[in-house]
Every structure is written in structure tokens, then in C-alpha cells.
């Protein structure tokens, strides 16, 4: 709905559950008159309807249950993502593909390998959401507008994520000027655990409002060729001393996808933690994918 309303564009929903996507498409279109926006939404279980799509977002797969880590979904969701990517390759070979399915970094790598597209055109959404959560918790703690916070998070989209307080600013000023180390550590821990907190409270399923906002923002950047720097799960080829792994890093995004992977001058402990996170992802990829 965010994408349809933002661009008054053609959106296609695909779901393997018979009738599910069609029902949601009808519901979304029934809002057009109220919203005074002439978008078009189609829904089907026939994936050939994505033919010629400029951007494809993969959200399909099982969601986490309380107490479940993202990594526990690897084998269950890998087959789903792989099958979808084979269809995307067939019907939308020129598309930019945004992966949202968890475990996000591993599913992004699987999508890239299956599609065979340029690495600039296949990436994951995760760090965009993580940074928004970090910014939100900072704003709540300081009782300031969240729009004043520019937060940075890198690393895997999961318990291995790394909020970076030394690159996070408030009105351009360093976070350390506003919060002491203990408060920063508490907010960082809250950011890492936010997804699990929501899963536990829901009891079934996981977050969707904020992830949808993150996806819609990425689509906006691409369509409008804004060339903004945002966090993405991107395939590294030597950056941050890592290779052949998808992991969260800042990237400049534009009409053709990732234009540049930005290498931040990390502190030694941060650099080591990042390498540890990348190594863990690679180990899981080699074991399960």
C-alpha cells in the first residue's frame, strides 16, 4: 500500500495461498477512492504476472516464532527463495531484487547466486530497518523528535548486528554529547533485541509496519534515482576485508541499484566484530545453502 500510494503505480502481489493475494489486492484497490489516488494492484498465485517488473521484493517465507532465532529459518525458507528466484530470472530478468525474507543476509546471498544477476541489483533490506529502530530508541530516551537522529547500523540482520554510536549523530552532533556510555549500551542492546521483542509480544508472526516502510523507502530511492546512502545487505568483494558474503553495510543507492559500497573507518574492536559476524554468516552459508 505504501508503494502503490507513493507512486500511483502498478503493483502485483503474488502469494502461493490461493485467493490470498487477490483478496488483498481487492481490499487495497477499494481504498483508492478514499485516498484519491489512482494506483493499480493485482493479486494472484500465478507468478508469471511479475513479467517485466522493474523491482521485485521477496518477503515470502515462514516468520519467526517466540524464542526462535532468524538462523533457524534457513532450511525452511531457502527452498522458497530459490524457487522464487528461478521464476524472477525467467519473467523479470532485468529487475532489481530486494530481499526481506529471514535470515535476511543468507537469503540475499542465496538469491544472488540463484539469479546470477549483478551484485548491484540484488540486496537485502535489513540495515535500513535496524538503523530506524536504533534512531527511534535514541529519540525515545532523549525525548527528541526522531527526525533529528541519523543512526548507523552495520553487520548481519540479527543478533550479530552492530549499531555504531560513533557514526550516529543528532542534528549533526555526535551521539556521545547527548548520552553516556551506559545509556548508549542500553539503547544498542534494545536495538539488537527489538525484532525478538516484537515477535514475543505478537505470539505469531513478526514486525511488518516498519519493514514495509523500509522497503518503500528503498523503492523510492531507486525510482527517483536519489543516490542516497542507506544500509543494505550487500555482497562484499574485498570491502571491510570480507568476500563473497552478503552483510549489512552503508551503500549509495540509485536507479541501477547499488552504485557504491561505503567503507567506514571502523574502530579496531568494531572491525573485528564485523569480521566475526561475516565469518559466522559464511559458515552458515557453507553448511546450509
What pLDDT score does 194 carry?
Answer: 96
Query: Does pLDDT of 59 surpass 80?
Result: yes
Residue at 4 is within a domain: yes
Q: Which three three-digit cell numbers place residue 151?
A: 543512526
User: What CA–CA distance (Å, rounded) separates 184 from 188?
Assistant: 6
Residues 41 and 138 in one domain: no
Residue at 164 is within a domain: yes
- CA dihedral over 115, 121, 125, 131, signed as positive or negative: positive
Q: Which residues pair with 42 in a beta bridge?
A: 12
Q: Is residue 280 among the annotated active site residues?
A: no
User: What CA–CA distance (Å, rounded) separates 265 from 257?
Assistant: 24
Residues 257-269 have pLDDT tens digits of 999 999 999 999 9
Which structural domain range is residue 13 located in? 1-45
The CA R_g of the chain, rounded to the nearest whole Å, is 19
Residue at 74 is within a domain: no
Residue at 79 is within a domain: no
- Nearest Cα neighbor of 70 from 99, 35, 106, 39 is 106
Residues 34 and 140 in one domain: no
Residues 73-116 have pLDDT tens digits of 898 899 999 999 999 999 999 999 999 999 999 999 999 999 99
Q: Which of 64, 109, 133, 157 is catalytic?
A: 157
Residues 149-184 have pLDDT tens digits of 999 999 999 889 999 999 999 999 999 999 999 999
Residue at 73 is within a domain: no
What pLDDT score does 70 carry?
Answer: 64
Residue at 17 is within a domain: yes
Residues 275 and 158 in one domain: yes
What pLDDT score does 81 carry?
Answer: 97
Residue at 230 is within a domain: yes
Question: Structural domain tally of the chain?
Answer: 2
User: What CA–CA distance (Å, rounded) separates 112 from 109?
Assistant: 5
Cell 504476472, located at residue:
49
Residues 218-256 have pLDDT tens digits of 999 999 999 999 999 999 999 999 999 999 999 999 999
Count CB-CB contacts under 10 A for residue 8: 12
Amino acid at each position: 500500500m505504501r508503494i502503490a500510494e507513493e507512486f500511483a503505480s502498478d503493483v502485483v502481489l503474488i502469494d502461493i495461498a490461493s485467493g490470498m493475494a487477490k483478496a488483498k489486492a481487492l481490499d487495497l484497490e477499494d481504498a483508492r477512492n478514499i485516498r484519491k489516488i489512482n494506483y493499480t494492484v493485482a493479486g494472484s498465485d500465478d507468478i508469471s504476472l511479475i513479467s517485466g517488473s522493474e523491482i521485485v521484493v521477496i518477503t515470502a517465507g515462514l516468520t519467526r516464532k517466540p524464542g526462535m532465532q532468524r538462523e533457524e529459518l534457513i532450511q525452511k525458507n531457502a527452498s522458497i527463495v530459490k524457487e522464487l528466484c528461478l521464476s524472477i530470472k525467467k519473467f523479470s530478468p532485468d529487475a532489481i531484487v530486494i530481499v526481506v525474507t529471514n535470515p535476511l543476509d543468507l537469503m540475499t546471498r542465496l538469491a544472488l547466486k540463484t539469479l546470477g544477476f549483478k551484485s548491484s541489483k540484488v540486496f537485502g533490506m535489513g540495515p535500513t530497518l535496524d538503523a530506524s529502530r536504533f534512531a527511534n530508541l535514541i529519540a525515545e530516551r532523549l525525548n527528541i523528535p526522531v527526525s533529528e537522529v541519523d543512526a548507523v547500523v552495520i553487520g548481519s540482520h540479527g543478533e550479530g548486528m552492530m549499531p555504531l554510536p560513533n557514526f550516529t549523530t543528532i542534528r549533526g552532533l555526535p551521539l556521545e554529547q547527548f548520552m553516556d556510555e551506559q545509556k548508549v549500551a542500553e539503547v544498542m542492546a534494545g536495538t539488537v533485541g527489538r525484532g525478538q521483542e516484537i515477535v514475543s509480544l505478537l505470539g505469531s508472526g513478526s514486525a511488518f509496519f516498519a519493514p514495509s516502510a523500509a522497503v518503500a523507502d528503498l523503492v523510492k530511492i531507486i525510482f527517483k534515482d536519489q543516490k542516497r546512502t542507506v544500509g543494505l545487505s550487500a555482497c562484499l568483494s574485498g570491502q571491510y576485508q570480507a568476500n563473497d558474503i552478503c552483510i549489512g553495510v552503508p551503500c549509495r543507492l540509485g536507479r541501477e541499484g547499488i552504485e557504491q559500497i561505503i567503507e567506514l573507518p571502523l574502530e579496531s574492536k568494531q572491525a573485528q566484530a564485523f569480521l566475526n559476524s561475516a565469518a559466522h554468516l559464511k559458515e552458515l552459508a557453507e553448511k546450509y545453502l
